[in-house]
């Protein structure tokens, strides 16, 4: 039985959903999945429910004074669990995990968006130097989009690359027809102030600079003026919640965190994610699986994730509230186009971003790394992409 040890920090948002979906598929395929993560987020619980063994790894989100202890703890977990492959998710796990293992076990590092894009000034330069150095301790650097891989190459990283696009659990995110939309609206209205017939734009994501909700709030007055009665729902929580509330008008709903975002996608007319940087965001994939048109910024793998022909309607430049407002207004004003784009999106996700297809690609990668003899070089990298 192949044993995969996942280290993950952060423990909420898209990373937690990716790890949870992955271990659910792995345990279903007969693998032994272990998730080492801090408490306090959703991952500890959802990974256990998905069939993984969960180990406590106390690690802060950023690099701080506790880093030596976090490295030692990661090394101790790896010694006890004796995995065939270690999979490190995001920059913090990639930092502590690679320092703990230093290539002694087959290691996959998955950035889930590059750390040097999330910082500025000396911090960004330090993060970039670390990533250039640390590729020697990863048998694979695994990207969720070709754009993310190219971003690493352009930044000077020399790595054994792999590309596996994010996938969606299609059982959790079935297509929602008009009846399902009305039912979702009615259910959400019992908890939130949400007019049943109001045009609804939904943004699912952590309330933080990366996800760009501040840009969305700057764009929203133009949308509201052009589409009377329109409502915007921000689904999620995070460090920017207070500042965003102060900037928002009465037609913006702060829904908070929820473990089940599917009803929000089902209730939406349009789903938007105005990120400043991404690898390949999970929320737009989930929304498209449900059959909703999306508007996303042209960062990371956003362009790659869209169905053919959707770029003119769905993709806008980053940091451009006017373009964002224009795209949202155009879709809200055209229900026929919205429905057509939604149908095409649902078909596209089922053909290219099924989580089972992504999990099979991960499994091939793990086995290629685990089957090599001690001291044997890592097998030549191939790109396993979902499309």
| Residue linked to tokens 């000396």 | 122
CA dihedral 97, 99, 102, 106 (to 10 degrees): 10
Print the SS3 string covering 151-184: HHHHCCCCCCEEECCCCECCCCCCCCCHHHHHHH
User: Residue 372 has what pLDDT?
Assistant: 64
Look at residue 45 and tell me whether its pLDDT is greater than 90. yes
Domain ranges across the chain? 3-167+354-370, 178-352
What is the pTM assigned to this prediction? 0.90
What is the mean pLDDT of the segment spanning 81-104? 95
- Higher pLDDT: 385 or 377? It is 377
Residue 185 has pLDDT above 50, yes or no: yes
378 or 116, which is more confident? Answer: 116
Other C-beta atoms lying within 10 Å of the C-beta of residue 339 = 14
Rg (CA), the chain: 21
Q: What is the pLDDT of residues 267-319, one digit of tens each?
A: 999 999 999 999 999 999 999 999 999 999 999 999 999 999 999 999 999 99
- In this prediction, residues 50-71 reach a mean pLDDT of 89
Whether 73 shows a pLDDT value over 90: the answer reads yes
Give the whole-angstrom CA distance, residue 315 versus residue 145: 16
Query: For the purposes of burial, counting CB atoms within 10 Å of the CB of 30, is it exposed (0-12), middle (13-18) or buried (19 or more)?
Result: exposed
Is the pLDDT reported for residue 380 higher than 60?
A: no
Q: In CATH, what number does 3-167+354-370 get?
A: 3.40.50.2000
CATH code linked to domain 178-352: 3.40.50.2000
Contact 364, 383 (CB under 8 A): no
Confidence (pLDDT) at 62: 75
- Per-residue pLDDT tens digits for 197-224: 899 999 999 999 999 999 999 999 999 9
Q: Which tens digits make up the pLDDT trace of 150-159?
A: 999 999 999 9
Q: Tokens 């956003």 belong to which residue?
A: 302
Is-same-fold flag (3-167+354-370; 178-352)?
yes
Between CA 180 and CA 134 the distance in angstroms is 48
Largest CA-CA distance found in the chain, in angstroms, rounded = 66
Report, as an integer, the average pLDDT of 42-70: 90
């Amino acid at each position: 039985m192949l044993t995969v040890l996942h280290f993950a920090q952060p423990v909420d948002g898209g990373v937690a959903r990716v790890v949870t979906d992955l271990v659910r598929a792995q345990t279903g395929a007969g693998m032994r999945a272990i998730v080492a993560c801090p408490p306090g987020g959703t991952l500890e619980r959802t990974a256990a429910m998905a069939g993984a063994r969960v180990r406590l790894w106390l690690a802060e989100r950023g690099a701080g004074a506790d880093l030596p202890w976090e490295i030692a703890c990661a090394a101790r977990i790896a010694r006890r669990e004796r995995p065939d492959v270690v999979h490190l998710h995001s920059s913090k796990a990639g930092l502590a995990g690679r320092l703990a293992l230093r290539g002694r076990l087959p290691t996959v590092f998955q950035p889930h968006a590059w750390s040097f894009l999330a910082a500025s000034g000396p911090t960004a330069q330090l993060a970039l130097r670390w990533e250039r150095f640390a590729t020697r301790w990863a048998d694979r650097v695994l990207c969720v989009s070709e754009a993310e891989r190219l971003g690493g190459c352009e930044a000077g990283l020399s790595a054994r690359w792999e590309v596996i696009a994010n996938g969606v659990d299609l059982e959790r995110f079935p297509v929602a027809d008009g009846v399902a939309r009305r039912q979702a609206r009615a259910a959400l209205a019992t908890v939130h102030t949400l007019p049943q017939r109001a045009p609804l734009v939904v943004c699912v994501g952590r309330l933080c600079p990366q996800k760009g909700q501040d840009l969305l709030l700057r764009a929203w007055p133009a949308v509201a003026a052009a589409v009377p009665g329109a409502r915007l729902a921000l689904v999620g929580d995070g460090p920017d919640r207070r500042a965003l509330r102060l900037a928002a008008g009465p037609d913006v709903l702060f829904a908070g965190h929820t473990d089940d975002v599917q009803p929000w996608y089902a209730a939406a007319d349009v789903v938007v994610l105005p990120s400043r940087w991404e690898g390949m965001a999970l929320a737009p994939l989930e929304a498209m699986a449900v059959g909703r048109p999306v508007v996303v910024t042209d960062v990371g793998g956003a362009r790659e994730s869209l169905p053919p022909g959707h770029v003119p309607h769905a993709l806008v430049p980053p940091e451009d509230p006017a373009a964002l407002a224009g795209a949202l207004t155009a879709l809200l004003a055209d229900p026929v186009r919205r429905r057509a784009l939604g149908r095409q999106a649902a078909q596209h996700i089922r053909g290219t971003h099924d989580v089972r297809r992504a999990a099979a690609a991960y499994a091939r990668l793990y086995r290629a790394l685990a089957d090599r003899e001690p001291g044997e070089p890592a097998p030549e990298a191939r790109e396993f992409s979902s499309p």
